[in-house]
Amino acid sequence: MTTKDAGRTGRRGPYAKSEERRRTILDAAHAVFAARGYRGGSLQDVADRAGMSQTSLLHYFPSKSDLLMAVLQWRDEVSGRANPAEAEESFVDAVIRTALYNEDIPGVIELYTVLCAESVTDGHPGRAYFTERFERLRRSYARRFAELAEAGRLRPGVDPGQAATSLVALWDGIQTQWLLAPDTVDVAQCLRSYFELVILPAES
C-alpha cells in the first residue's frame, strides 16, 4: 500500500462515522417528528433519542428547520425506492405498489401525515416543501391521465387535471384513515376502486 492509498483509507473512517451519526440523528428526528410533529418535538428530544448532546446534534444540523428539511428529503429518498424499475409498468400499478411499499416502512406515513397537516400553520418551515410537492404530483398525475385519455382509456367527462387533484387528495385521506384504523382501511383497494371509476379497462 502506498502512502497515498493509506491516506485515502484513513479518511474513510471519520467520514463513515460522520455519516453514521448523521443517519442516527435523522432516524431519531423521524421518530420524534412523526410522534409529536415539528412544533411539539424539540431538538433536545431528538438529541436524547439519538444518544448525544444537543450541541453535537447542531454540529450536523445547524437549526431545527435544517433538520426538518433533511428528514423530509430522507423520506422522499426512502419512498422513491418504490419507483418502477421497468418502463412497462402502468400508472395504476405504480401507484398501488408505492402505496403498499410505504405501508411496510415504519413511520413513513405517520411522518408525512403529521408534517403535512402541520405545514398549513403560520410560519411552518415545511410549507413550501408540501406546496411544491402537491404541485409536482398534480402535474405528473395529470400527464398520466391525459395519456390515458389520448389512448381512449379515460371515461367520458373525466378531466385529467381534476382526476389528478382528486387522486392526491384521496390517497392522503385514505392514508390518514389507515393510520387510525389499519385493520379496517385498505389503502390499495380504495385506490384501485377510484381508478376503476375513472379509467376504462384495457381491451384484451
Same domain? 89 vs 160: yes
Task: Examine residue 14 and state whether it is found in any structural domain, yes or no.
Answer: yes
Considering its fold, how many domains does the chain have in total? 2
Same domain? 140 vs 52: no
Question: What CATH number is associated with residue 124?
Answer: 1.10.357.10
Same domain? 125 vs 160: yes
pLDDT digits (tens, 9 = 90+) for 88-111: 789 999 999 999 999 998 889 999
Is there a contact between 93 and 87 (Cβ–Cβ < 8 Å)? no
Write out the residue range of the structural domain in which residue 170 sits: 81-204
Whole-model pTM: value is 0.84
Task: Examine residue 170 and state whether it is found in any structural domain, yes or no.
Answer: yes
User: Longest Cα pair distance anywhere in the chain, in angstroms?
Assistant: 71
pLDDT digits (tens, 9 = 90+) for 123-136: 999 999 999 999 99
- Rounded CA separation 180/140 (Å): 29
Task: Examine residue 76 and state whether it is found in any structural domain, yes or no.
Answer: no
Task: Examine residue 112 and state whether it is found in any structural domain, yes or no.
Answer: yes
Of 183 and 7, the structure prediction assigns the larger pLDDT to 183
